[in-house]
Structure 1
Amino acid sequence: MDWTEVARAEFPVTGRWAYLDHAAIAPLPRRSGDAMRSWVAEQEANGCVNWLGWREELERIRRRAAALINAEPGEVAFVTSTTMGIGLVAEGFPWVPGDNVVSASEEYPSNLFPWKNLESRGVETRLVRSREGRIRPEDLVEAMDDRTRVLAISHVEFASGFRNDLDTLAELCHARGVALFVDAIQGLGPLTIDVRRTPIDFLAADGHKWLLGPEGAGLMFVREDWIDRLRPILVGSNSVTSSYNDPEPAFDLKPDAGRWEGGCYNFAGLLGLGKSLELFLELGPDRVSGRILDRAEGVRERARSAGWEVVGSDRPGDRSGIVVLDREGSDNNAVVRSLKGRGVSVSCRRGKLRVSPHLYNGDDDLDRLAEGLRTRP
């Protein structure tokens, strides 16, 4: 694969930036921006005359999203955010007062607050702390009891970059009758997910990070055998098999995950995401994953040579596309500003530097980062 050619053809951002902040918000590939601009021009010129064509394109995008995680298209719903997907599962789950959900204490707030919001319904949220940079499966199991109904976990933790072992967690959960919910926004892209091989029950991910899509367009996966058990929330005209145009529309819920798409679609965002998914599938998700992990390893090597500590577990199976760095006495918010002045984009999260490269970042991008890391702001 000629990654330099991919970068030149698809990523205008490379003209100015060594962009290493995909765990925050990704720049769009050229084809995604083109799709969104085309939709805006179409609506300016024609209003909703060609709406049916947009709707048909959404089904092609659904098939791409399903292919990315090896799901059935009917198990995939479009959502406007990871938060929305989490909320639909949390609020729709068949809880009984006294039930509990287990999660990790360092989860992003969007994968904590929807579960904590269930306290008024008698559902307890139990949080497990990491040890030595790792969330240990045995600690999660220890927090479970016979009233644990859900384990809610990120594939990759946003601040540490720690990769949870979904295969192990799925096995542990299902042996105990616990459903597994995965916040996949920081894992899907740098890592691959196969929901047929790894029996995740629910998954949600917006597209604006590693999937290289725009904000406000993402996916939710609900395993087929959960579709009728998970109560639909925010139902509307798109949730049912009948048409809004019928004299008396029947309240017959769709037999698939489409029942969670109650209202209007973010057509521009979904069309952009669809093109980003198209790029992933053209390049091959396994190949993209390998490239991102290689780039992350290059960041680790250069950071160490520049005198920085790579924070977190160094076990290969715990690594992801996120690299967390620190240096004694460093003001890492100031480092972010200094690097930005050099045309290098990274983030600071919870006091530490967070670097998140993608497939199109060449060695010159990583060298620009290393040069900036050697200079104290």
Structure 2
Amino acid sequence: MKKEQARQLFPFIKNGIIYFNHASTAPVSIPVRESLCDLLKEKSESKIDDYHSFLKVYEETKNLLAEFINANPDRIAFIDNTSNGLNILASGMEWKSGDRILLNDIEFPANVYPFLNLKKFGVEVDFVKAKDGIVTAEDLIENIKPETRLISVSFVQFLSGYKIDLEVLGKFCRDKNVILSVDGIQGIGAINFDVQKFNVDFLSCGTQKWLFGAQGLAFIYLTEELQRKINPAYLGWLSFEDAWDLLNYSMKLKSNANVFQGGTLNTFGIYAFNTSVKIFKQFGFERIEENVISNTKYLRRRLNEIGVNCLIDEVSDEYYSGITTFRTDDIEKLFKFLEDKKIVCSLREGYIRLSPHFYNTFDEIDFVVNSIKEFINKKV
């Protein structure tokens, strides 16, 4: 699949909308819309209770996702959102007073509150302070203490777009027997992610942003070794090996990640995600990142050319992701100005956040940058 073919999958483009907001919510593609319409038609007219067909789609989706992040499908479970995924880890571990968890002070709250909640058990939570909006792998490593049992960090920082070096951090954590937990929602789907290469112990990621999935569907990945240390805080009927022997109550837990899928899954979300991951595969998993980073570099250069400085301009482009963030005077007025021009982006913490994906073009970037320049010149 070529970029122009991919662009045909998104009807809003023909309506003159420039969508640079994938770090917030993904647009619905035509294939996803058709997939869900077909499913609704079946469930309203014929195959109302077709669990076996769903199982085929479910297994295919998990296999596709496993290929995408280089994981064994048995190590992946579907859940409802990133926050609850991180709570599975936080609430399932056996903590003792004096254990320490290492975070940083620019994390999205979803990757903070599940661990702060453990303070009631005497767990200490340490925060690494960001420097110029950046927390590096080395910053985290330097702040590990003998009592540190777990580090949780975002693959990509939600505001600046800084991509942490998980390969360096993961190797250190594995060598020191420190659990590495990753919030992947702002990177996976835009940037290549390899759980083996990064030595990730636990991953939680929603599908509704860069992965073009639906709200209400997420997934976790965890190693077999880590799962043996987790006592699930919640169990459902599908958490057990003999789930369909309904009156057995054997209490024999599944040994794979499916133990965390205790009940009915988000069927519509999985059908949507199945379709989206197939689009990624057709385009080429490796080419996704190439296009995203190419767009980011071009966008940052064009913004710099009109006198706009971005967050993390000073770092090497190896730490770039799909997110570019900047601030100007009258930022809320600029946001409204862009909105009126059908440019969709986000206003976060007093900054404009732009997040184009692989199918966005340099022409669209030029239009966005020229619109920002127009606004600035009007203010002069």
Q: Give me the TM-score of the superposition, normalised by structure 1.
A: 0.95
Match of 1:26 in 2: 26
Task: Return the alpha-carbon distance in structure 1 between the equivalents of residues 369 and 243 of structure 2.
Answer: 58
1:254-298 CA-partner distances (Å, limit 9, x unpaired): 110000001111100111011111111222211101101111112
Counting aligned pairs with the same residue, the percent is 27
Partner of 2:353: 354
What letter is aligned with 1:116? L
CA distance in 2, matches of 1:89, 1:177: 16
Q: What CA distance in whole angstroms lies between the structure 1 residues aligned with 2:332 and 2:34?
A: 34
Question: CA separation in 1, counterparts of 2:97 and 2:40?
Answer: 48
Question: What is the CA distance between 1:245 and its match in structure 2?
Answer: 4.5
Is residue 331 from structure 1 mapped to residue 330 from structure 2 by the alignment?
Answer: yes
Structure 1 segments of 4 or more deviating over 4 A?
A: none
- Which residue of structure 2 aligns with residue 315 of structure 1? 316
Contact 2:150 2:179 in 1 (8 A): yes
Preserved CA contact (<8 Å) 2:297 2:317: no
* Distance (whole Å) between structure 2 residues aligned to residue 214 and residue 279 of structure 1: 15
Q: How many residues align?
A: 374
| Distance of 1:110 and 1:49 partners within structure 2 | 35
Contact (CA 8 Å) 2:79, 2:261: kept in 1 or not? yes
Alignment of 1:233-272 (within 5 A): 233-272=233-272
Cα distance in 2 between the residues matched to 1:346 and 1:190:
17
Q: Report which stretch shifted further, 29-38 or 183-192.
A: 29-38
Q: Determine helix, strand or coil for the equivalent of 1:238.
A: helix
2:295 aligns with: 295
Q: Is the 8 A contact 1:76 1:257 kept in 2?
A: yes
CA contact (8 A) 1:76 1:219 kept: yes
Distance 1:344 1:237 in 2: 46
Query: Equivalent residue of 2:310, what SS?
Result: strand
Deviating more after overlay: 182-191 vs 227-236? 227-236
- Contact persistence 2:106–2:133 (CA under 8 A): no
Tell me the SS of whatever aligns to 1:160: coil
Query: Deviation of residue 231 (structure 1)?
Result: 1.5
Whether 1:135 aligns to 2:131 is: no
SS of 2:49's equivalent in the other structure is coil
Give 1:195 shift. Answer: 1.4
Task: Report the residue type matching 1:354 in the other structure.
Answer: R
Q: Distance in 1 between matches of 2:26 and 2:115?
A: 28
Give 3-state SS (helix, strand or coil) of 1:232's partner: coil
SS at match of 1:157: coil
CA RMSD of aligned residues (A): 1.5
Query: Contact conserved, 2:79 with 2:220, CA < 8 A, in 1?
Result: yes
| Secondary structure of residue in 2 paired with 1:310 | coil
Alignment of 1:1-377 (within 5 A): 2-8=2-8, 10-16=9-15, 17-46=17-46, 48-312=48-312, 313-327=314-328, 330-376=329-375
1:47, CA displacement in angstroms?
6.2
| Structure 1, unpaired ranges of 5+ | none
Normalized against structure 2, the TM-score is what? 0.95
Q: Partners of 1:346 and 1:371 in 2: how far apart?
A: 15
